[in-house]
Amino acid sequence: MLLRTIDIREIRLRLRFPFVTSLGRTEERRIILVRVEDENGVEGWGECTTDENPFYSEEWVDGSWLILQDYLLPLALGKTIEHPSEVAGLFAGVRGHRMAKAAVESACWHLEAERRGVPLWQLLGGRRETIAAGVSIGLQPGVDELLVKIENEVGAGYRRVKIKIKPGSDRELIERVRAHFPDLSLMVDANSAYTLADMPLFEELDQFGLMMIEQPLAYDDLFDHATLQRGITTPVCLDESIVKPADAVHAIALSSCRIINVKLGRVGGYTSALQIERICREAGVPVWCGGMLESGVGRAHNIALSTLEGFSLPGDVSASARYWEEDIIDPPVTVSGEGLISVPTGSGLGVAVDRDRIEHLTARLESGICR
């Protein structure tokens, strides 16, 4: 395929409710979308899943915009590739910036699926026609408010609930939630807010039957997590620490975790995500798809990723209506009363991108065309 046209645009979507973690509070998402078009006018869409600020990772919206505009687009525009897995090679000279790279690569995977007239998930080798939906709930003003939120999500059918914790809002909160929901598949996410000095706390958390504790220690650590995992029975799940396939290999060798969260943007795109899924599956380590408050484009890509065999745990792939009054895809993502998402059967992402709504939401646009 010839990468004849590549557009990058920033849209702004206001969340229905603020999302609060130990890293900060988000009320509006600034989202970079990438559109790639081939020589026949077939197009594919990708989403740069970086946050507005460099707190979750080194990447952030304005930095990603510059990297895309000044480096990645010039490297990709006008190139002819046989397969979207070749996109990573085009960007090999640029260190890091995985979320920006993933936005272009995922758009090319979508484009290839459209060219072949097949669903993207089938092109990836996915096997699931439905995926189990989990939900992530941010920090709330108080425990009572959190319990109401969880009650609503359980009533909506979600199979797994993740709650955010931070120092000072952890043990008592979890104890109250577990007492109220004794049989709930419950996990907690610390977003790197703790250290090994908090080992006594994590030992106490063993009593609550958690599915996992996600990224409790430093965002780039493997060694301290191995020490933590040896000291507790609750599975540790790594998120921020896994940015490439080699990290998964090392984490498994060190026994740093028993579960891995795969985020398409964080690991640099599908080519890397497919390798991580295979590494973990062959080692017997389950993986699941994490979320970054994506719009419908990123959410549709997450659904495709979640159909792979190794994604055996419910991910953070929830309904569009949990976040947005109106999404940018048609139909929006919905979750059944049984907590399942039906995987689209149409070609590409299986949903239509709402171009009119995207135009309305666009704050800036950069377009490159190879003539």
How high is the pLDDT of residue 367? 92
pLDDT in tens, 111-162: 999 999 999 999 999 999 999 999 999 888 889 999 999 999 999 989 899 9
Residue in this structure with the two tokens 């000044």, named with its chain if needed: 70
Q: What is the DSSP letter of 255?
A: T
**Number of C-alpha atoms within 13 angstroms, CB side, residue 366?**
15
> In the β-sheet with 5-21, what is the strand arrangement from edge to edge?
43-48, 24-37, 5-21, 362-369
Pick the more confident residue, 158 or 226. Answer: 226
Give all strands (DSSP E) within 146-230, no chain letters: 160-164, 186-189, 213-214
Q: How much is the average pLDDT of 50-73?
A: 96
Q: Is 149 a catalytic residue?
A: no
Its pTM stands at 0.95
For the stretch 302-356, pLDDT in tens is 999 999 999 999 999 989 998 999 999 999 999 999 999 999 999 999 999 999 9
Check 101, 149, 162, 164 and give the catalytic one. Answer: 164
CB 348 within 8 A of CB 108: no
What pLDDT is attached to residue 19?
79
- The string of pLDDT tens digits covering residues 257-315 is 999 999 999 999 999 999 999 999 999 999 999 999 999 999 999 999 999 999 999 99
Nearest to 328 by CA among 298, 302, 303, 290: 298
Average pLDDT over residues 155-181: 93
pLDDT class of 371 with cuts at 50, 70, 90: low
pLDDT one-digit tens code per residue, 237-253:
999 999 999 999 999 99
Mean pLDDT, the chain, rounded, equals 95
| Pairing of the two strands 352-353 and 340-342 | unpaired
Which H or E run includes 175? helix 171-180
Residue 22 has pLDDT above 80, yes or no: no
Q: Is 244 a catalytic residue?
A: no
Percent of the chain residues past pLDDT 90, beyond the cut: 92
**Residue 225: predicted pLDDT:** 98
CB 174 within 8 A of CB 198: no
> How wide is the angle at C-alpha 54 spanned by C-alphas 49 and 59, nearest 5°?
50
Q: How far apart are CA 224 and CA 317, in angstroms?
A: 29
